[in-house]
Structure 1
Amino acid sequence: MLVKNIMTAKVYTVEATSSFTTMQAIFEREAFHHLLVEDQGLLLGVISDRDILKNISEQVRNDNLEFPQTLTAEDIMTTPVISVDQETPINTASILLLENNISCLPVVDADYNIDGILTWKDILRYHIYNT
């Protein structure tokens, strides 16, 4: 079985210049836990809801009450990004998640155009209901 069979094609993206408050609002409104940072459809980085919480904690600890207006996606995104393509076997993707202690893998083509996202929940759902 391949990543393309279980990935989530609908992803939420932000630009590198997107504000912290914009990202926070998306996480509050949507049921997703990851945002992909892109530039004209090309993957630049990943932001998880945990990255948002970590940055809130750091900024509060440093008494920086102006942080929502100053932080951008580029400031908090994870790079380099570990990604897969649609033809990656699910077992390979599972190993990448486990060995790198990450919770998602952006799915991209050879030019880093975003095709979707694969999360640990997608893989768990596959293993529970299809094997």
Structure 2
Amino acid sequence: MSIAQIMTHRSKLITTMADASLASLRDVFARARFQHVPVVDHTNRLVGIVSVKDYFRELSPVMDAASDPAIGLFIRSRKVHQVMVSPVITISETTGVKQAAALLLQHNISCLPVIDEYKHLLGLVSWKDILRAALHKPAS
């Protein structure tokens, strides 16, 4: 089984740009329940990834010491590129599920962006996708 069979495809992902404010991610993490947002440039090339953990890690010092208006100002002034992970560990559509699982474990990460040879984002595969694939039983 290949990653192309189990990944969440680009058309179903929410992405952001490196110069977007952290405030723009608030609704994505709160309402859409996404755990990771790929960061792309204007040509859809992957430049980073920001997780809900990265987002809240950035906010935690402010949340402990300030009021709500200060938090709002802080997240509007901070940019995605200031908290995103880059470079990103990635895979291709032809990567095997076992190899992807090994990368997740080796690097202690929870998802892998899927890119083409030009670094264009094709999709995302998470540990949950891999677990679903492992539990899938072909029809008899």
Could you say whether these structures have the same fold, taking a TM-score greater than 0.5 normalized by the shorter chain as the test?
yes
Change (3 A) 1:62 1:78: farther
Question: Could you report, residue by residue, the CA deviation over 1:93-121 in whole angstroms, capped at 9, with x for unpaired residues?
Answer: 00000000000000000000000000000
**1:45 partner amino acid:** G
- Residue in structure 2 matched with residue 42 of structure 1 by the alignment: 45
Structure 1 portions without partners, runs of 5+: none
Percentage of matched positions with identical amino acids? 34
User: Greater CA deviation, 62-71 or 89-98?
Assistant: 62-71
Between the aligned partners of 1:22 and 1:67, the Cα distance in structure 2 is 12
Give structure 1 regions of 4+ aligned residues with deviation exceeding 4 angstroms: 61-64
Between the aligned partners of 2:2 and 2:107, the Cα distance in structure 1 is 20
- Residue in structure 2 matched with residue 106 of structure 1 by the alignment: 113
Between the aligned partners of 2:126 and 2:63, the Cα distance in structure 1 is 30
**1:53 partner amino acid:** F
Deviation at 1:26, TM superposition (A): 1.3
Between the aligned partners of 1:130 and 1:114, the Cα distance in structure 2 is 29
- Residue in structure 2 matched with residue 23 of structure 1 by the alignment: 25
Deviation at 1:62, TM superposition (A): 6.3
Between the aligned partners of 1:80 and 1:61, the Cα distance in structure 2 is 30
| Structure 2 length-normalised TM | 0.87
**2:75 partner amino acid:** P
Deviation at 1:56, TM superposition (A): 1.1
| Structure 1 length-normalised TM | 0.93
